[in-house]
Structure 1
Amino acid sequence: MGLHRVVEPAGVLPQAAWRLDASPEIAPNEVRIRVERLNLDAASFRQLWEKHGGDGDAVRAEVLQIVSTRGKMQNPVTGSGGMLIGTVEEAGRRSPLGLRAGQRVATLVSLTLTPLTILDGLARWDGRSEQVPCDGYAILFARSIAAVLPVDLDPQLSLAVLDVCGAPALTARVVSRYVAERERAEDPTPVRVAVIGGAGKSGSLSLAAARRAGAARTVGVVPVVAERDALAAVGLADVVALADARDPVALSSAVTTALGAPADVTVVCVDVPGCEHGAVLATEDGGTVVFFSMATSFAAAALGAEGLAADVTMLVGNGYVPGHAEFALGLLRSESGVRALFEARLAAD
């Protein structure tokens, strides 16, 4: 679990630690990765970008400062990090991950618990995108997760998908349970799914996953006209609605109007705070809200649901579902709309 890498405070797991030991020498059950690219999570990058007013040099300097100080990439404001791709340099003889030197891999665990050292000062990154070319090394523990990069996909595309692969897998699991329950009860009521932030990475994958799992009607909610047009053009949602997710009444109205009723399952994939109450209000009593945003305040979600007398189940998307990497990459390969949105995003970056 990496306890021996925790410098301070003593006794906590690496994710909760303030500082990790990122020295390159590995224990027998560790793996050292030569890093070639980081993917900062959306909430963390947005916070840094807004803090520095779009000054890429200042964003780069702060990321370097965080990593050098903490021995990992964990934004002290959002608490989130991201993930990385690189090449296996050395695998300890007792590592259970099945990796070997020379393999190109993506880590499927957060940078917030991954010992990391940057060697090149991020000289090739302009601080203006979530993907960060770099040279350095990272350490994986026995209970870490990594996926060998597929040879048929561009590594940057794979990195973008694998960064959010937990979202579509959990969405599919939740939606399929609703579908199965209604089939067993011979209930003809269609399963309705709303994805807040439907044009983003996790949002587009979640829309595709919901449809594949049997959702009868889906709505993707986006905040601006450009995203509405982009999502509508690729056909991943039955309806695309325009609403500010931070406005609870507007969000609830948009979802209910689009679906004809509140959603059975609402998936929150936005990277801004303040969307909890709207998501709860947009969800049918007895429904489920899945929070996949690192900007979520779970206190606000719980207290808001209580204050609204909303009988909803709220799930924290923890980023891991067995088979999540293969599932997400399969969606990318088979759903042209998903691939189009991802490639457009990478081109813009």
Structure 2
Amino acid sequence: MNIPNRPEYLKTQVEVEKLRTLHSELVEVDAFERQIKELFFIDNHAFIGMPKEEVYATTDFENYVATKKDAFIHVYFPWLNTIVRTVDAGDYYRLKTNRNQDLITAAEQKKLHDYKVAVLGMSVGSNIAFVLAQAGISSRIILADFDELDTTNLNRILAGVHQVGLNKTIVAARHIYEDDPFAEVTLLPEGVNEANLEELIKAGEVDCIIEEIDDIPFKIHARLLAMKYKIPVVMVTDNGDGVVLHVERYDLGHDKIWGKPHAYYEQKLADGPMTKEKAGSIIMNDIVGGVHRVDPNMIKSVKRVLARELVSWSQLGSAAILGAVVATYTVKEIALGKGTKRDIRAWISPESVEHGNHTVS
């Protein structure tokens, strides 16, 4: 059965009744009453700290509820066969981002809400996309990946065994919609290429690229496009328990790829097919920063992959989550106009917490 991958929004009781008729086992959740109670304290600071039951007995609360009685919408999640009565989009966003204050100011939150991010690659990328959504960043987000979820992905992708076989963009989008049913998620389930990426950029749909694609030639082409259209690129590469962060501020005039002239990589592409050996050298030396920077156990894993003793290289869920946190912070800083360094490579690891430092170049 072909199940829609975005919520449906029901504004009338007639639509709700029709849905009930069509789905006899429909699960119904009413979040609205609790949400109104939360909103009351947000909008009426004088009552903060008072016993809640006393507040709910006041005429102020009664009058507030009366003003909000019709400010709801029903959201149907087809993949869950669940309908939720919830506050409308504006109040939902206020609730969802309220606990961000004053770590993120209201003015900053508006900028972050409107900032458009394209997340390319849904391994580490799916975690990044979800953490962005949690933070209220990029209400219009693009997710790209042609691959389907396998059980071996579940050590690092936020998903369940019931989703095995689904396209990874669908898995990620559903997770985002359950967190924010009013998000606008564009899916590229056939994957991303130079043509559709450039089309999205030219249409004004991309303010920042988070590039998590395995294919080295595409990584290069994506940066050449970003350079052409002055789009910042953020990339996180897992490295054992840690990650390597790359920030390339093409929006600020940066004109290199991984610290080298772009002509160097254009020549690499012109020299013929990108073999595993060439790709491995670029990853180890240009991206991670040399063999001395690579986690020793990661090197063992790669050797076993090349010897066909492992199906694919090892990746940890903890590193994927760390990468999501690091990437989200980086996107937040870029979106808010903070930081002017055009080329950053940082090695971030739990070990650096123990030793009280981390390394940046």
| TM-score (norm. length: structure 2) | 0.26
| TM-score (norm. length: structure 1) | 0.27
More strand by share: 1
For the pair shown, which has the larger CA radius of gyration, 1 or 2?
Answer: 2
More helix by share: 2
